[in-house]
Structure 1
Amino acid sequence: MNENQTISEKELLDAMKNLLKKSGHLNKFQAEMRAKVTEILQERQVSQTPGFQSQGAPTPTNEVLLINELIKEYLEWNGYLYTATVLTSEAAMPGAHKPRAELCAEVGVKDDDKSSALPLLANIVAAYTERIKRKINKSKKDNV
């Protein structure tokens, strides 16, 4: 570039945005910003509303915690790492991962070579739909 050429501010911003997109950093920054905004809004709601969850958010049930963990595992398995980060923040989940073996034990799924190729949530849905199909087929046979 010679000295007579100048780059406009918009061109510079567009170039930076494109570089951040290509490197994958733009999505990460956006997810981190969303997580932080969510955290700030939650804190603000609690502090500005008298009596609003003055003891903090209600303690989630074991089922809710398990569902959150399954959703987080599904998101991470699919590569939705930034979405998982926002979920972790918004649901006030612990940063530590629950081991897959522990999740399997909680939902009653036996993890083998075939099932480990999919997220647990997909295995649960597949098992449920297979069970429904078997019931339908059994019902059809009984009615014949």
Structure 2
Amino acid sequence: MASVEDLKDALRENLDRNGKLRTLKAQLRADVFTALSNNSEADAKAAPQISNENLLLNELIREYLVYNSYRGTASVFLPESGQPGVRPFDRAFLASHLNIPEGPNSAQLPLLYSLVEMAAKGRTQPPQPRTA
């Protein structure tokens, strides 16, 4: 008969293998952060005003997190960074403001991918999506 420790190990391995353990941990961190944040109105009032530059950077990060389905990370990142829940800029504005050329295929990828590829290749053309 399996011991309690054996059952715990098997459950942990199963959850880890199918990716659920990582999701559960991320959700737990998000819930803990939310609970701690909601406990102090003074902390919310003392939060510094977010700069326009940080708003832009945070939107690039938000787009990346959403694209990759990092929901737990995004749920912690947005309130922790002070980013508004409603997007302050749309993708077209970000691409235009950051001089990122948009092609028909680049719209499928987050703008961060375009910036990284453009910087790596020293070019001004948007990246092509990878086909698997």
Q: TM range, normalised to the smaller chain?
A: 0.5 to 0.7
Higher relative contact order (CA 8 A, sep 6+): 1
Asked if the contact 2:78–2:85 (Cα under 8 Å) also holds between the matched residues in 1, the reply is: yes
Indicate the residue corresponding to 2:74 in structure 1: 84
Residue type of the alignment partner of 2:58: N
Larger radius of gyration: 1
Partner of 1:84, secondary structure, is helix
1:15 to 3, 10, 34: 10
1:119 to 110, 115, 123: 110
Asked if the contact 1:31–1:83 (Cα under 8 Å) also holds between the matched residues in 2, the reply is: yes
Offset, 1:63: 1.7
- Classify 1:112/1:55 alpha carbon distance in 2 versus 1 (closer, same or farther; 3 Å): same
Residue type of the alignment partner of 1:119: P
Residue type of the alignment partner of 1:26: L
Asked if the contact 1:71–1:121 (Cα under 8 Å) also holds between the matched residues in 2, the reply is: yes
% identity of equivalent residues: 36
Partner of 1:14, secondary structure, is helix
> Could you state the TM-score of these two structures normalised by the residue count of structure 1?
0.62
1:31 to 26, 32, 47: 26
How many residues align? The count is 121
Q: Deviations over 1:9-54 (max 9, x none)?
A: 111111221222233221111011112223344455x46xxxx646
Rounded to whole Å, the distance in 1 between the matches of 2:46 and 2:110 is 32
Indicate the residue corresponding to 1:100 in structure 2: 91
Gaps of 5+ in 1: 132-144
Residue type of the alignment partner of 2:17: K
Gaps of 5+ in 2: 124-132
